[in-house]
Amino acid sequence: MMQKVNSMDDQNLSCVMAIFGATGDLTFKKLMPALYNLEKSKLLPEQFAVVCIGRRDKTNAGYQNDVYENIQKNIKQKIDEKVWGSFSKRVSYQRQDFTEDDGYPSLKKVLDQKGGNMLFYLSVSPHYFEPIIYKLKKYDLANSENGWRRVVIEKPFGSDLETAQILNDRLTKVFPEKDIYRIDHYLGKEMLQNLLVLRFANSFFEPVWNAKYIDSIQISSCEKDGVGTRGAYYEKSGALKDMIQNHLLQLLTLTAMEPPESFDERHIRKKKTAVLKKLAACRDEMKLVRGQYGAGKIDGENVAGYRQEERVDENSNVETFAALKLFIDNERWKGVPIYIRTGKRLKNTMTEVVIEFKNLPQTKFFSDSENISPNLLVIKIQPEEGMEFKFNTKKPGSVNTIVPVKMNFCQNCQTGTNSPEAYERLLYDVIRGDATLFTRWEEVKYSWIFADNIQKLWQKQFVQFPNYEAGTSGPKEAEELLESDNRKWWCEGGEL
């Protein structure tokens, strides 16, 4: 839960935030609405300013008007004019080509005038990361003698281990690791954060959170949408690099990590990294499925196949679906299969973790034991936020019939509940210097080792694409991956 800024801490939190790429979609659709909501919740420091850096020719008034329109489009309620009045005073625009030296002296002058602490947000394409970082150093903007300096970098952090290592080496020559915030918006989602509370604040979960009681774990992130206008990006990433290497591995680490010594960010990150190290070493045990969508129907409407999407090669062999079976070779999870899947143009949109518990030996003594369903715990990340627990009970009546029932908690279904958006929470944490929900280099390193191993295995395999229709559950091989283990994918958009 986010708490209001304490006046005693305000001096340390006061800062100027410089956003590079201030006229892009990320800034308008995510960053500005998040900052506005923080203003509305009185969570921004009193001394806080946003300097927005872009290459388009705009006045302050013109840029603020663009921000206003985009906030209105991307928040849940009507914009509060009083809140906007105070927030807009914090926002200024500077036209600058951030790849050229010309604008940096004036930028330094503006930032120095606004305060000592500085937060740099690189809301730009990855190939601009290094030039901007270099110029921040060249013009003494990264010097922390007169206040802290923090930099936020969006994914992708490299395209493989080699490029990620190069980027990290150059980045850490300018900023120390503690001041680098590699942002993954999935980690800002409310129910994903709730995983740690669910596990470690409930005495009836943590004692059974292990191989003795858990049969398997499923992590699914499915989308109805196709690649849309992101074809050029997706051609370089695919489902593996776009979703698994970052979002879903982070989700897995929170699900599988050992209890930390404390909830200090260092201890949590250490336990997450330990999981990734084990994954990076399990190459030979993995089973892999990949797919690419062809034409089909979504909600009754015809949609094009991936190869017909904008800025996609007509012979592309990039995967839009991936499913994995893997193991974590440690005492807690030894022998427990973990199934991960993600894909585009599937029949439902959802991100969920399903914990399937083992059936008890005594269930075989019930007359209808063949119909007994396993206990399931479902953590729903999006679009619904909440949890579902499925257990068995006797059906009312004279006959001893066992039926499954569900207990459901829906966090964002309750009237009046307004969970903070992911960027809202993450920006608040950066300002406070809390790096718990951000990935450190060790995590990035081992997640890339894992992804690179998969990429190497796929290069040896030929798959005839497209191999699933839009609007279906993905390629049949993904179903067979579990059927061969006498299991099935449990969730298809919320129904068990």
Evaluate whether 352 touches 340 at the Cβ level (below 8 Å).
Answer: no
Would you give the DSSP letter of residue 241? I
What residues are paired with 301 via a beta bridge? 298
397 torsion bin: left (phi>0), alpha (psi -120 to 50), beta (else):
left
Residue 74 host element (H or E):
helix 60-74
Residues 6+ apart with CB under 8 A from 289: 321, 322, 323, 324, 475, 477, 478, 481
Structure tokens at 135: 């110029």
Q: Among 50, 56, 141, 135, which residue's Cα sits nearest to residue 95?
A: 56
Residues 393 and 260: their CA atoms lie apart, in Å, by: 35
Residue 113 host element (H or E):
helix 104-114
Single-letter code of the amino acid located at 256: A
What is the CB neighbour count within 10 angstroms for residue 418?
11
311 torsion bin: left (phi>0), alpha (psi -120 to 50), beta (else):
left
Q: Among 200, 217, 224, 128, which residue's Cα sits nearest to residue 171?
A: 128
494 torsion bin: left (phi>0), alpha (psi -120 to 50), beta (else):
left
- Residue with tokens 């039926």, as numbered in its chain: 403
Q: Among 422, 447, 420, 427, which residue's Cα sits nearest to residue 150?
A: 427
Evaluate whether 303 touches 470 at the Cβ level (below 8 Å).
Answer: yes
Catalytic residue among 127, 185, 247, 267: 247
Residues 13 and 110: their CA atoms lie apart, in Å, by: 19
Strands (DSSP E) contained in 176-249 are 180-182, 214-222
Structure tokens at 61: 């008034």
Evaluate whether 41 touches 431 at the Cβ level (below 8 Å).
Answer: no
Q: In what order do the strands lie in the sheet with 376-382?
A: 287-291, 321-326, 338-343, 214-222, 350-357, 376-382, 386-394, 402-410
Distance, CA of 73 to chain centre: 22
> Dihedral angle at the C-alpha atoms of 163, 306, 323, 472, nearest 10 degrees?
160
247 is catalytic: yes
Evaluate whether 325 touches 287 at the Cβ level (below 8 Å).
Answer: yes
Single-letter code of the amino acid located at 128: Y
Active site residues: 247
